[in-house]
Chain A
Amino acid sequence: MQTRSLLYRIVAAATLAAAVLCAPRAALAVPSFARQTGMACEACHTVFPELTHFGRVFKANGYVLDNVKQVQDVNSKRDQLLELAQIPALSIMVQASYTQLKKPLPDLANVSIPGEAQNGTAAFPQQLSLFYAGKIAPHLGAFVQITYGNDSGTIGIDNTDLRFADTKLLPDAQTLTYGLSLNNNPTVTDLWNSTPAFGYPYAASNAVVSPLAGTQIDGALAQNVAGLSAYLYWNESLYAELGGYRSAQQGAANQLTGAAGPLDGSASNVISGVSPYWRVAYERNWGRHSLEVGAYGLDVKLFPGGSPGATVPLSGPVNRFRDVAEDFQYQYVADEHLFTFAGTRIHESMDLGASFAGGASANPSDDLTTTRLWATYYYRRQVGGTLQYFSTTGSTDTALYPGPTPGSAGVVTSASGSPDTRGWVAEVNYLPWLNTKISAQYTRYTKFNGGSSNYDGVGRSAGDNSAWYLLLWFAY
């Protein structure tokens, strides 16, 4: 009975979660942490969601530091059985936005009457999230985000990070923090804002055209994997993490039973076995400065699989993606001026055995390199801005990055078969309060899917995908 009802509940929960396929979304640390610690946002953030040194240590310690009254239960030896904060660690977050593309998109609704889709997309909300973010028990904390997104029109699981952590004192007043994280997005565990999950841009429009190519570690697996990782953080300075991810797809159904699993050939991009994730970083703090340099990577084997109705067995050849990345982050944190300079370069080697055999890629192996560099400045945590350079370059592959078919509208095609995309993001922000951000962001593409003009083979140029994005973002 026990197992059955548990199973029943898991299936029910999975079915609920399956109602949506989540695209990677922005996330942030949240006011429930401030409520729990009694400290203002500025203790942990320069400006949300970027973390300060103290914020990183708080995260490494499993989100458990608390200074609020606890409901306790102890046994006869006064061992602790329960310690519950009197206020639950709940937060909500809202993003409302407006997006204007430089050039409208073609309207596909009626191909016989060529027209344009409406330009200027209001999103209200773009995203509405509920968080449980804080301590669960001594040494056990959680950052769980559930999001309604206007793209899916439903509620789904977003970034999730459940942690166990503890800190041991070593001789000479050194510390060793160690922990385990159960999470659903490679790099969501990371402490620095130079890695993909919490890297810049912290918020982006979902009503724009996305380039064809992106590396696996750069959000491709977000919310569709379950990972367990173990980490060590020595003297708040040297960090090492090792973990493994396995597919935990949202919205997949077994074709035979209709249940949420096991995954079969109707699912696409299923991880074969477990994908190892690794991370090393070194941070040094002096005066008002903090500098981090590090590296991280992921090795994923994917069964290309099929889609409902077009089954490809989950056996035989796989596509293998080996991502190796370097990153750095420099922060200057003072009361008046705050400055951040950060960046990452992700290199991906692809062995496309499965895709090549099936004709889905033109080469047996390809590679892809994504680089992002950005600088952020804030005055008194109130007004500021960020300038970012981004670029993706890689092998030309006419099957992976295909051109337009006759009569197609293009836009998401590549005339040259090249994934190369390059551009800038400029953003200005105003924070009337520390939990409310108003931003105007402009993304300018100088190259898109391999070309500057007529990149798609149907006459659209890279600059046409440039866009304004106005955002109101707050969390409570």
Chain B
Amino acid sequence: MSARAELRHLLALIAGTFTCVALAGSAYADEPDAAAAAHARQLAVAVCGTCHGVQGNSQQPKFPRLAGQGASYLGAQLRNFRAQTRGDPDAISYMWGMASALNDETIDALAQYYTHQSAGRVPVRDAALVASGRSIYEKGLPDKGVPPCAGCHGSDAHGVADFPRLAGQHSQYILKQLASFQSNMRNVAAMHGVAVNLRTPEMEAVAAYLQGLP
């Protein structure tokens, strides 16, 4: 290799590393600008917060917890509400209206706000229920064709890429969503396949397990 070629190679390597670093940072690359972040914070605390909790750890089980949820998942859901494509009952009654006037910039800034809040959890007392829920979560129900949830949502249920975080979520909300996936009111093929063979007691067990997870 000539010195020149070597230099080019080196430069390419450096450029590559830079691109790589830039790409790795891309999760943070679409950080909203300061004005959008401030607007989102005001909205999140003063408007969304009344239902979802000021830092996204709602008290009322009807309102899902948003703290620590993946930003891309949050953004996608807000767009689904805005486009009225997420059709489970409380999505229609509450979030279709709330999301209808949000623009993309605000949606992304809201997603960043919630993803950076630290998630809480709600303790669950029924140890037996939690244990059977854990087994479903980690191993699935092979005889019924229910895959392990952990495969998509992560072994700690903290979410992976577009698969949402479930740890610390209200069990009532998880139950409602599983039922909505099953009936296709919330129409997501991946989760319909998972939920279609789950019976209510199994849903209750996995929901209880998830609610108690840190």
The answer on a CB contact under 8 Å between A40 and B94 is: yes
A254 within 8 A of partner (CB):
no
Q: Which residues of A contact B (CB under 8 A)?
A: 37-40, 42-43, 53-54, 57, 61, 65-69, 167, 169, 173-175, 177, 236, 285-288, 333-335
Partner of A286, one of B41, B59, B98, B101: B59
Across the interface, which residues of B come within 8 angstroms of A236, CB to CB?
A: 50
The answer on a CB contact under 8 Å between A169 and B46 is: yes
The answer on a CB contact under 8 Å between B60 and A67 is: no
Partner of B93, one of A39, A67, A334: A39
Across the interface, which residues of B come within 8 angstroms of A174, CB to CB?
A: 54
Task: Across the A-B interface, give the 10 residue pairs with the lowest CB-CB distance, nearest first.
Answer: A38-B97, A40-B93, A173-B54, A39-B97, A167-B46, A67-B101, A57-B50, A67-B100, A38-B100, A67-B97
Distance of A178 from chain B, by nearest CB (Å): 12
B150 within 8 A of partner (CB):
no
Across the interface, which residues of B come within 8 angstroms of A65, CB to CB?
A: 47
Across the interface, which residues of A come within 8 angstroms of B60, CB to CB?
A: 285, 287-288, 333
Given A42-B93, A175-B49, A286-B59, A67-B98 contact (CB < 8 Å): yes
Across the interface, which residues of B come within 8 angstroms of A42, CB to CB?
A: 93
Distance of A45 from chain B, by nearest CB (Å): 12
Q: Give Cα distance in the complex from A466 to B149, angstroms.
A: 62
The answer on a CB contact under 8 Å between A68 and B101 is: yes
The answer on a CB contact under 8 Å between A53 and B45 is: no
Given A54-B51, A175-B49, A287-B59, A39-B41 contact (CB < 8 Å): no
The answer on a CB contact under 8 Å between B45 and A173 is: yes
Q: For A174, give the chain B residue with the smallest CB separation.
A: B54
- Taking A38-B97, A65-B47, A285-B60 as known contacts, 6 extra A-B pairs with beta carbons closer than 8 A to each other, sorted by chain A number, are A40-B92, A61-B46, A167-B42, A169-B42, A169-B45, A334-B62
Distance of A96 from chain B, by nearest CB (Å): 28
In this complex, the member of A38, A167, A175, A334 whose beta carbon has the largest number of chain B beta carbons within 10 angstroms is A38
> What 1/0 flags go to B35-59 for Cβ under 8 Å of A?
0000001100111011100110001
Interface size class of B (residues with CB under 8 A): 20 to 34
B201 within 8 A of partner (CB):
no
Partner of A287, one of B42, B61, B96: B61
Across the interface, which residues of B come within 8 angstroms of A286, CB to CB?
A: 59
Across the interface, which residues of A come within 8 angstroms of B98, CB to CB?
A: 37-39, 67
Q: Give Cα distance in the complex from A37 to B93, angstroms.
A: 11
- Is chain B's interface secondary structure helix, strand, loop, or mixed overall? helix
Distance of A153 from chain B, by nearest CB (Å): 39
Q: Give Cα distance in the complex from A284 to B51, angstroms.
A: 14
Distance of A323 from chain B, by nearest CB (Å): 31
Distance of A363 from chain B, by nearest CB (Å): 49
Across the interface, which residues of A come within 8 angstroms of B49, CB to CB?
A: 173, 175
Distance of A233 from chain B, by nearest CB (Å): 11
Q: For A60, give the chain B residue with the smallest CB separation.
A: B50
Q: For B93, give the chain A residue with the smallest CB separation.
A: A40
Q: Give Cα distance in the complex from A39 to B50, angstroms.
A: 14
Across the interface, which residues of B come within 8 angstroms of A167, CB to CB?
A: 42, 46
Q: For B122, give the chain A residue with the smallest CB separation.
A: A287
Q: Give Cα distance in the complex from A69 to B97, angstroms.
A: 12
Across the interface, which residues of A come within 8 angstroms of B54, CB to CB?
A: 173-175
The answer on a CB contact under 8 Å between A175 and B93 is: no
Q: Give Cα distance in the complex from A167 to B47, angstroms.
A: 10
Across the interface, which residues of B come within 8 angstroms of A37, CB to CB?
A: 97-98
Q: Give Cα distance in the complex from A211 to B100, angstroms.
A: 50
Q: Give Cα distance in the complex from A173 to B55, angstroms.
A: 7
Q: List 27 A-B contacts (CB under 8 A).
A: A38-B97, A38-B98, A38-B100, A39-B93, A39-B94, A39-B98, A40-B92, A40-B93, A42-B93, A43-B93, A66-B101, A67-B99, A67-B100, A67-B101, A69-B101, A169-B41, A169-B42, A173-B45, A173-B54, A173-B55, A175-B45, A175-B49, A175-B54, A177-B46, A285-B59, A287-B59, A333-B60
Q: Give Cα distance in the complex from A282 to B65, angstroms.
A: 25
Distance of B11 from chain A, by nearest CB (Å): 45
Distance of B96 from chain A, by nearest CB (Å): 6
Q: Give Cα distance in the complex from A342 to B192, angstroms.
A: 43
Across the interface, which residues of A come within 8 angstroms of B96, CB to CB?
A: 38
Across the interface, which residues of B come within 8 angstroms of A173, CB to CB?
A: 45, 49, 54-55
Q: Give Cα distance in the complex from A42 to B89, angstroms.
A: 12
Q: For A335, give the chain B residue with the smallest CB separation.
A: B62
Across the interface, which residues of A come within 8 angstroms of B51, CB to CB?
A: 43, 54
Partner of B50, one of A53, A67, A288: A53
Distance of A330 from chain B, by nearest CB (Å): 15
Q: For A54, give the chain B residue with the smallest CB separation.
A: B50
Q: Give Cα distance in the complex from A66 to B96, angstroms.
A: 13
Distance of B45 from chain A, by nearest CB (Å): 5
Across the interface, which residues of B come within 8 angstroms of A177, CB to CB?
A: 46
Across the interface, which residues of A come within 8 angstroms of B93, CB to CB?
A: 39-40, 42-43
Q: Give Cα distance in the complex from A334 to B90, angstroms.
A: 12
Across the interface, which residues of A come within 8 angstroms of B100, CB to CB?
A: 38, 67-68
The answer on a CB contact under 8 Å between A288 and B45 is: no
Distance of B144 from chain A, by nearest CB (Å): 28
Q: Give Cα distance in the complex from A57 to B50, angstroms.
A: 7
Q: Give Cα distance in the complex from A173 to B98, angstroms.
A: 21
